[in-house]
Chain A
Amino acid sequence: MPDSFFSCPFCGLLCDDLPADVERIGCARATRLFSVPAQGQCRVSGRPADPAEARRVAAGILSGARRPLVAGLACDVTGHRAALDLAERTGARVDHMNGPAQFRNWLAFQDGGWMTTTLSEVRNRADVVILAGTVASAFPRFFERCLAPESQFGDLARRVIVLGGPISRLPEPFAGSALTIPVPATRLGELCAVLRARLTGRPLPVREVAGVPAAQIDAVLEILRSARYGVLAWNAAELDFPGAELTIQAMVDLVKDLNRDTRWSGLPLGGNDGDTTAAQVCTWRTGYPLRVAFESAGPRYEPLLFDAARLLAAGEADALLWISALDPARVPPDAACPRIVLGRPDMVFEHPPEVFIPVAVPGVHQAGFMHRMDGVVALPLSVRVASELPSVAQAIAAIQEEMKRVAA
Chain B
Amino acid sequence: MLRLKNGRVYDPVHGIDGQVRDIHVRDGRVVAAPLPGDPVDTEIDLAGRAVMAGAIDLHTHIGGGKMNIARALLPEDHRRDLVPAMAGLHAGCGHAAPSTWTTGYRYAEMGYTACFEPAMLPANARHAHLEMGDIPMVDKGAYAMLGSDDFFLRLLTSGAEQRLINDYVGWTLDASQAMAIKVVNPGGISAFKFNARNLDLDEAHPHYGVTPRRVIQVLARAVHELGLAHPLHVHASNLGIPGNADTTLATMAAAEGLPIHLTHIQFHSYGKEGERAFSSEAERIADAINRMANVSADVGQILFGQTVTASGDTMAQHRNHRHASPDKWVVMDIECDAGCGVVPFRYKDKNFVNALQWAIGLELFLRVTDPWRIFLTTDHPNGAPFTSYPHLIRLLMDRSFRNSKLDEINAEAAAHSQLRGLDREYSLYEIAIMTRAAPARSLGLSDRGHLGEGAAADIVVYRDLADREAMFEKPEYVFKDGRLIVRDGKVVNVVNGALHTAKPEYDKGIEKPLKEYFDRYMTVKMEHIKVSDEEICACGASKLIPHQCKRRAA
Min CB gap A247→B, angstroms: 18
- Some 21 contacts from A to B, beta carbons below 8 A apart, are A3-B528, A13-B523, A16-B524, A110-B72, A110-B73, A114-B330, A116-B332, A120-B335, A120-B337, A123-B523, A124-B336, A152-B521, A262-B195, A263-B194, A285-B99, A286-B92, A288-B71, A294-B85, A297-B82, A297-B84, A376-B124
- Whether a CB of chain A sits under 8 angstroms from the CB of B551 is no
Min CB gap A139→B, angstroms: 12
- Chain B interface residues toward A at CB < 8 A: 63, 65, 67-68, 71-75, 78-79, 82-85, 90-93, 97-101, 121, 123-124, 126-127, 130-131, 134, 150, 154, 192-195, 207, 318, 324, 327-337, 342, 517, 520-525, 527-528, 535, 538-539
How many angstroms between the C-alpha atoms of A114 and B534 in the bound complex?
36
- Whether a CB of chain B sits under 8 angstroms from the CB of A111 is yes
CB distance A298 to B127 under 8 Å?
Answer: no
CB distance B93 to A299 under 8 Å?
Answer: yes
B82 and chain A: residue at smallest CB distance: A298
B314 and chain A: residue at smallest CB distance: A115
How many angstroms between the C-alpha atoms of A390 and B327 in the bound complex?
46
A112 CB contacts on chain B under 8 angstroms:
327-328
CB distance A298 to B84 under 8 Å?
Answer: yes
> Which among A112, A378, A380 has the greatest number of chain B C-beta atoms within 10 A?
A378
CB distance A1 to B527 under 8 Å?
Answer: yes
How many angstroms between the C-alpha atoms of A121 and B97 in the bound complex?
27
Q: Which residues of A, 182-217, contact B by the 8 Å Cβ criterion?
A: none
Interface residue tally on A, bucketed by range: 35 or more
> Which among B92, B329, B333 has the greatest number of chain A C-beta atoms within 10 A?
B333
Of all A-B residue pairs in the complex, the 3 with the closest CB atoms, nearest first, are: A298-B82, A287-B93, A113-B328
CB distance A111 to B78 under 8 Å?
Answer: no
CB distance B93 to A286 under 8 Å?
Answer: yes
A111 CB contacts on chain B under 8 angstroms:
328
B134 CB contacts on chain A under 8 angstroms:
81, 284-285
CB distance B523 to A146 under 8 Å?
Answer: yes
How many angstroms between the C-alpha atoms of A288 and B192 in the bound complex?
30
- Whether a CB of chain B sits under 8 angstroms from the CB of A356 is no
- Whether a CB of chain B sits under 8 angstroms from the CB of A387 is no
How many angstroms between the C-alpha atoms of A287 and B96 in the bound complex?
11
Interface residues as binary, A282-310 with B (CB distance below 8 Å gives 1, 0 otherwise): 01111111000011111111010000000
Interface residues as binary, A125-155 with B (CB distance below 8 Å gives 1, 0 otherwise): 1000000000000000000011000111100
* Contact flag A3-B523 (CB < 8 Å), given A118-B332, A229-B193: no
Min CB gap A89→B, angstroms: 8
> Which among A109, A113, A123, A297 has the greatest number of chain B C-beta atoms within 10 A?
A113
Interface residues as binary, A92-115 with B (CB distance below 8 Å gives 1, 0 otherwise): 000000000000001001111111
How many angstroms between the C-alpha atoms of A299 and B123 in the bound complex?
30
B523 CB contacts on chain A under 8 angstroms:
13, 119-120, 123, 145-146
* Contact flag A285-B101 (CB < 8 Å), given A5-B525, A77-B130: yes
Specify which of A152, A228, A377 is in contact with B524 (CB 8 Å cutoff): A377
How many angstroms between the C-alpha atoms of A387 and B402 in the bound complex?
65
CB distance A298 to B528 under 8 Å?
Answer: no
* Contact flag A298-B83 (CB < 8 Å), given A229-B193, A284-B100, A285-B90: yes
CB distance A280 to B207 under 8 Å?
Answer: no
* Contact flag A286-B99 (CB < 8 Å), given A110-B75, A377-B335: yes
Min CB gap A104→B, angstroms: 14
B340 and chain A: residue at smallest CB distance: A376
* Contact flag A280-B127 (CB < 8 Å), given A16-B524, A113-B73, A288-B75: yes
- Whether a CB of chain B sits under 8 angstroms from the CB of A352 is no
B90 CB contacts on chain A under 8 angstroms:
88, 285
A145 CB contacts on chain B under 8 angstroms:
523
How many angstroms between the C-alpha atoms of A1 and B535 in the bound complex?
13
Min CB gap A152→B, angstroms: 5
* Contact flag A121-B73 (CB < 8 Å), given A16-B524, A298-B84: no
* Contact flag A369-B130 (CB < 8 Å), given A110-B73, A297-B84, A376-B123: yes
CB distance B71 to A263 under 8 Å?
Answer: no
A146 CB contacts on chain B under 8 angstroms:
523
CB distance B528 to A7 under 8 Å?
Answer: yes
- Whether a CB of chain B sits under 8 angstroms from the CB of A371 is yes
A2 and chain B: residue at smallest CB distance: B527
How many angstroms between the C-alpha atoms of A39 and B24 in the bound complex?
55
B93 CB contacts on chain A under 8 angstroms:
286-288, 298-299
B527 and chain A: residue at smallest CB distance: A3
- Whether a CB of chain B sits under 8 angstroms from the CB of A41 is no
B335 CB contacts on chain A under 8 angstroms:
118-121, 376-377
- Whether a CB of chain B sits under 8 angstroms from the CB of A45 is no
CB distance B127 to A113 under 8 Å?
Answer: no
Specify which of A116, A286, A298, A380 is in contact with B535 (CB 8 Å cutoff): A380
B93 and chain A: residue at smallest CB distance: A287
